[in-house]
Amino acid sequence: MTVASQVKQCVASLKNVEASLNSFAIDTKDEQASEIFRESCQITRQVITDLEKRVGELEFQEPQYKGF
Amino acid sequence: MQGWLEVVLRSVVAIIILLFLSRTFIRKSMAQVTYFEFVSGIVIGAILAIGSIHLQVPIAYPIMGLIVWSVIPYALGWLSIKSETIRSFVQGKGVPVIKDGKILEDNLKKERYSSDELLKQLRAKNAFQVADVEFAVLETSGDLSVLMKKEAQPVTPKDMKLKVAPIKEPETVIMDGKIMDEPLATAGKNRRWLEMELEKIGAAIENVYLGQVDSYGQLTVDLFDDKLKVPSPQEKPLLYATIKKCQADLELFALSTNNPQAKQMYTQKAAKMKEVMNKVEHLLQ
């Protein structure tokens, strides 16, 4: 597996995490817990944005592996 | 009027009065009732009983007695809410019988409480060793309230400085195989969601005896057929595992890349995910 595809996989997993955190933030009745989920969700989103940038760089370097 | 007819009539009236009185009196379990309230209850019962079958007694007598015996205790109850002095006079006060780990024999004697009775009551509160008790009060209802010494108390998450996930009351959304729409709405869910969750578990709605939604929106069920195994909700542990895996992956990328800029970025993101991990750990486990 190339580096790019590994990073992409990680991004996909992180997106899964973000979605789950988001749904927990909505479903959780306790406000404090819900707030923690929301914050975590935001942090995860930032990480995803930066990683996607890195995926772009990697694709630029290894254009033969472009796309999933 | 014939005698038996009058008995029926009086009894019916007495039952109605009893129902009315027991509804207006405060919600207290028998154990919380003070001796005074207990005895006035008995007197009211006796008056009603005599009034309903004792035909020689004119009807006005039991009614008068009833009024006095219900109005005065009721008024005293009302006054004791308003005034502390009246409260301590009517209801009495709890008497400490163990203080600072020492038995107060004088107070025991005053309350005519024997050592056997004290031990019995302590045992009922799971205090088999008197040395484990820091403080105990003999309440007006005759119950003993016991404060155990800290080292003899069960460990709580607070003692362990553990963070635990807060919980709210669960909603019971399925009862006897029927969907309860109102609790479902309170939980912020609908029938479609419930059907989907049941499909995930692989259970038919008719087979569910009880289904509850916890405060994290997860469904747990108990089936009529106890031979079937129901998977416990996996979403939370799964999410935590995924976060952990992503964090580990990021650290791995940071180690394996040669690009210093990327290395720094990966390390930073790994730290971010570590932060998320720490934040949600107590909620997801």
In chain B, where the domains are located: 3-90, 95-152, 171-233, 236-284
Give the per-residue pLDDT at B172: 93
Give the per-residue pLDDT at B28: 66
Give the percent of chain B with pLDDT over 90. Answer: 29
The Cα B123–Cα B115 span in angstroms is: 12
> B65 pLDDT exceeds 60?
yes
From chain B, pick out residues whose CB is under 8 angstroms from the CB of A21: 239, 280
Give the per-residue pLDDT at B1: 66
Give the per-residue pLDDT at B234: 82
- Domain B171-233 superfamily per CATH: bsu07140 like domains (3.30.240.20)
Contacts of B285 (CB under 8 A, 6+ apart): B236, B237, B240
Average pLDDT on B172-182 reads: 90
Give the percent of chain A with pLDDT over 70. Answer: 93
Query: Using 50, 70 and 90 to split pLDDT, how confident is the model at A15?
Result: very high
User: Which CATH number is B95-152 given?
Assistant: 3.30.240.20
Mean pLDDT for chain B overall: 87
Q: Helix B260-284 vs helix B235-256: angle between axes, to the nearest 10 degrees? A: 160
Decide if B14 contacts B51 (C-beta within 8 A). yes
From chain B, pick out residues whose CB is under 8 angstroms from the CB of A17: 239, 242-243, 246
Using CB atoms and an 8 Å cut-off, which of residues 209-248 of chain B contact chain A? 215-218, 235-236, 239, 242-243, 245-246
Decide if B250 contacts B266 (C-beta within 8 A). yes
Decide if B99 contacts B135 (C-beta within 8 A). yes
Give the per-residue pLDDT at A67: 60
How many domains does chain A contain in total? Answer: 1
> B129 pLDDT exceeds 70?
yes
Report ipTM for this prediction: 0.87
Query: Using 50, 70 and 90 to split pLDDT, how confident is the model at B41?
Result: confident
Q: Does B185 touch chain A (CB under 8 A)?
A: no
Domain that holds residue A45: 3-65
- CB contact under 8 Å between A28 and B269, yes or no, is no
Mutate to test the interface with A, among B184, B196, B235, B243 (most CBs of A within 10 A): B243
H or E element that contains B59: none
Q: Does B59 touch chain A (CB under 8 A)?
A: no
Using CB atoms and an 8 Å cut-off, which of residues 40-59 of chain A contact chain B? 40, 43-44, 46-47, 50-51, 54, 57
- How open is the CA angle B83-B85-B91, to the nearest 5 degrees? 95
Q: How close, in Å, is residue A35 to chain B by CA atoms? A: 11
